[in-house]
Amino acid sequence: MAKIYNDPATGDEITRSDWISLKIQDSVIRRWWFLLQFTVITVACVCTLNVNVVGWWNVYASWLAVAVEQIVGRYMSNQVKRDASVLREVRSLLQEVKALVSELKTIAHKDASHSEADYEIDLDSNQKLTQVLELLADEFDVEPYYGEWNE
């Protein structure tokens, strides 16, 4: 059975390579000692005034920059893809809710055109519908329509 890895911050399921990337970032790359050590070694190499030492340190530092970028960038790229997937889901839900709000407005408008004699009014249901319309209107920046039944 394959082991399942989760992002500690979001709880999202992630690949093994993303999990390894996170572990490397948390244990090495994102530590102050890493930057401090790198800076001290760079200063020490430059202070030798030896062209070979500075040249080889430059090669190593360039390789390290590419490696760090690969480790961090790979994870970030995959996280952006996961975020985009969630955003598409949220957008779809938002469209469904907007359609439901529109449908509720239409129903409320149709119901408001009937006289009270046409049907028995259930005040509890109307109050609940009013609360739902107000919550949705606030959330999605639309004006609620209550119809005459709420007056």
Which tens digits make up the pLDDT trace of 8-19? Answer: 888 888 999 999
Check whether 118 has a pLDDT greater than 90: no
Average pLDDT (25-53) is: 94
Check whether 28 has a pLDDT greater than 50: yes
SS3 call for 14:
strand
Alpha-carbon gap, residue 7 to 39, rounded angstroms:
30
> Quick one: tokens of 69?
């970028």
- When comparing pLDDT for 123 and 118, which is higher? 123
Count, residues in the chain: 151
Check whether 90 has a pLDDT greater than 60: yes
Q: pTM for the complete prediction?
A: 0.57
> Quick one: tokens of 111?
């119901």
Q: Which of 21-30, 54-63, 125-134 has the lowest mean pLDDT?
A: 125-134
For residue 98, give the amino acid letter: K
- When comparing pLDDT for 146 and 61, which is higher? 61
Q: How far is CA 122 from CA 29, 112, 133, in A?
A: 63, 13, 17
Check whether 142 has a pLDDT greater than 90: no
Alpha-carbon gap, residue 18 to 4, rounded angstroms:
12
Average pLDDT (65-78) is: 93
